[in-house]
Structure formats: C-alpha cells, structure tokens
Amino acid sequence: MKNAIRVSCTRRNLKVVRDFVSEFLEHYKLSELHINQIVLAVDEVVANLIIHGNSEDESRFLDVRLSMKNQEFGIEIEDESPTSYSPASYREPDLQEFVRIGKKGGVGMMLVNRIMDRVEFTTQGLHNICRLHKKIV
C-alpha cells in the first residue's frame, strides 16, 4: 500500500490528496463518517498550504505521508513556502465576532482541530511540516 505522494500546488490536486487518504484509510475498519472527517481535515490543511502558503504555484510541491501505528493514524504534510503564511501562529477565531461582522471563511483550522486529536505545525525558515494525528478505536 502506497503511503506517500508528492503533488504540485494547484487546487486540482486536492481531489488527488482526498482520494489518496480515503484509499489508505479504507484498509482499516473505520466508519464512513470517520473516514470523511479525516479526509475533510486533511483537505483543509492541504488547501490552506496550496492557496495561502504557496499561492497556487504549480512549480512548488507538497509531500504527503500517511502512517498507521498503534491504532493512531498520522499524516505529515510538508512544503517549502516562500510566503509569510505561518500556520504555526494559528489562533482559534472568535465565532461570535465572525457572526457579528458577517465574516465568511477563516474557520477551517478550527474544524481541523476539532476533528483531529492532535495538530502540530513546525516552521523553520521556509520549511513547514504539519502533523495530524487521530486515534482509531
């Protein structure tokens, strides 16, 4: 079973990553709900990195690695973003304020944090790694 892919930073590859994660998870007896939640979380992070981190520059790449160890699903998403996009500085939004001002968007990472058990971002210079973890019971 393949557990790593490299994709260029274009929105067209979001489906490629979703399918890759779904196919990997189908080998573990997970409910369709759990698979869909994990795929949604991964899709959100990958979309952010493609759109905000790499400005949809098809000459740039994301490396996506999947693992299952001790009943824990793990994913690493790695890039070298040339922008000032810094996912490691994420702060949970004030939803009441978003509703009050009518702001749309900006809640995807909140959703990721609620779906996954652990979300870690590390950034060193231009090098970013996002690690997502989910216990599978």
pLDDT, tens digit, for every residue of 96-134? 555 555 555 555 778 888 999 999 988 877 788 999 999
CA distances for 60 relative to 10, 54, 89, angstroms? 9, 7, 22
Long-range contacts of 108-111 (CB under 8 A, 24+ apart): 108/44, 108/47, 108/48, 109/44, 109/45, 109/48, 111/40, 111/41, 111/44
The pLDDT tens digits for 16-62 are 999 999 999 999 989 999 999 999 999 999 999 999 889 999 999 99
The pTM of this model reads 0.84
Spell out the domains of the chain, with CATH numbers in brackets: 4-135 (3.30.565.10)
CA 96 to chain centre: 25
Residues 111 and 55: their CA atoms lie apart, in Å, by 22
